[in-house]
Amino acid sequence: MNQAPYFASEIAPLLATRELSSREITQSFLVRIERLDPSIRAFISWDGDLAMQAAAQVDEQRAAGQKLGPWAGMPISIKDILCTTDADTTCGSRILEKYRSPFDAHLVTKLRESGLVILGKTNLDEFAMGGSTETGFMGPSHNPWDLSRTCGGSSGGSAASVASAMSPLSIGTDTGGSIRQPAAFCGVCGLKPTYGRVSRYGLIAYASSLDQAGPFGHTVADLAQLLQVIAGHDKRDSTSLDVPVDDYVGSINEPFASVKIGVIREHIDDPGLDPEVRAAIVATIEQYKKMGCSIVDISLPNTKYAIATYYIIAPSEASSNLSRFDGAHYGFRAPANSDQVYAMAAGSKTLSPLDQMYCHTRFKGFGSEVKRRIMLGTYTLSEGYFDAYYMKALKVRRLIRQDYDNAFGSVDVVLGPTTPTTAFRLGEKVNDPVTMYLEDLFTVGANLAGIPALSMPVGKTTMGLPIGAQLQGPPLTESKLLQIAHAYQLAVGFKPELPSAVC
């Protein structure tokens, strides 16, 4: 067959009218994965047989006249941090090598029930700890726009799979910008929903008070459709919000008037902001003015503390969450190693063989970035430092949320750059953690505040690298964010495109 359409907006009507079958569409994307993924490495695993079986089931249901969802039969990729019963869930870590979950994540169940066809599990920074998809045991993913550059992280594989049209849609997770930053770097759209809007059941935790799953797509309309599938209350997740789900799909085409957009001066004026990124954001602001929006300068004075606050809270939660991975029950296990000396800090007491196994498993199973964050988190939670660091960070987190609440008292959404720079070269920052952490400068605030945030492409640099703009809104205003972002794409005549190297 000829190559089927790449974009979800083109595929959906062809599936609904049976002009193309889900098997034909799925096979087309599997062929692209076979051809392109050896150079991009967006996937950790994929199973063509399973995908084709799921596609065939949808085709049979459609042929039988069953009522199906609007995206039944649509292929999708998911980040390898969401549990699945029919594929390993590794979190990009050797310590979960060959781990097979006995249950599906709630989000995965909703995808299956809606008839989406899971192509495979995408690459990520180990346990979602990173900003370049370089720290996982599978090695780095590559940006389809320039294979020498990062696709962002930690959901880099998901963004790259969409940008290269190895999948029309994907699911990632966002703890400090891990959906929005890769979306910006890869020239696609990505949404971090309000904390609790999408169930975290079956999402292996990095930082429990910050993690949130969300969609990737080529257009804002894709995000709306996919959020409609995955949003909702789940009683198995104590942080899941028991509030009605909006009509995201219907809301994007509603006309809007008197929208007030706040421009974050601390972000626009940041000396570290790349001039080409700044120019693209200024052009986006001018476009919204032409659309009749009111532009208001706002200040988030505590945003300067966001990185420090995030990198105390997130590692603290990680040190607790990752303590369960010791090789005793599942995943990777290293034997007790008599050649390696393990000693207790107090008295240099020799460890038992069991404790040696624990230590050696973690030493061999975790990568350097994960170890760094575990040690940082354990330190900030330790006696004598808990109040000085962790409790102080929680207080500053409240101030950051208050800044957003104050801003939303006068504006509907806030607009700024998603990232300070465009995609940097692989290896450029991996050995400089502070510089890498600063890539999250504009994104971590939304996670600390628990608010929804969206990134969409708004241009390219002279080198052809994508630039992303970020919209942030009050809690549970995903409909408003999607509506405002979709209106921009309609106004500029946005058309998704693929990098020439993968067409």
Which candidate in 28, 114, 132, 154 is catalytic? 154
Dist CA 112 CA 202 (whole Å): 14
Q: Which of 494, 501, 497 is nearest to 162 (CA)?
A: 497
Residue 419: how many CA atoms within 13 Å on its side-chain side? 33
Point out the catalytic residue in the list 21, 77, 79, 479: 79
Contact 460, 423 (CB under 8 A): no
- Map tokens 């930053």 to a residue: 181
Gap between the Cα atoms of 423 and 466, Å rounded: 8
Q: Which of 164, 178, 199, 455 is catalytic?
A: 178
Angle between helices 275-290 and 478-491 (to 10 degrees): 90
178 neighbors 154 (Cβ within 8 angstroms): yes
CA distances from 292 to 209, 388, 488 (A): 37, 47, 11
- Write the DSSP symbol of residue 177: S
The answer to whether residue 455 is catalytic is no
Is residue 238 annotated as a catalytic residue, yes or no?
A: no
DSSP 303: G
Residue 366 region by backbone torsions, left for phi larger than 0, else alpha for psi between -120 and 50, else beta = beta
The answer for residues whose C-beta is within 8 angstroms of residue 23's C-beta and 6 or more apart is 52, 55, 56, 59
- Annotation marks residue 199 as catalytic: no
Token duo for residue 186: 């890869």
292-305 as b/e, with b when 16 or more CB fall inside 10 Å?
A: ebeeeebebebbeb
Query: Residue 145 is encoded by which pair of tokens?
Result: 């726009």
DSSP state at residue 462:
T
The residue written with tokens 């257009």 in the block is 219
Annotated catalytic sites, by residue? 79, 154, 178
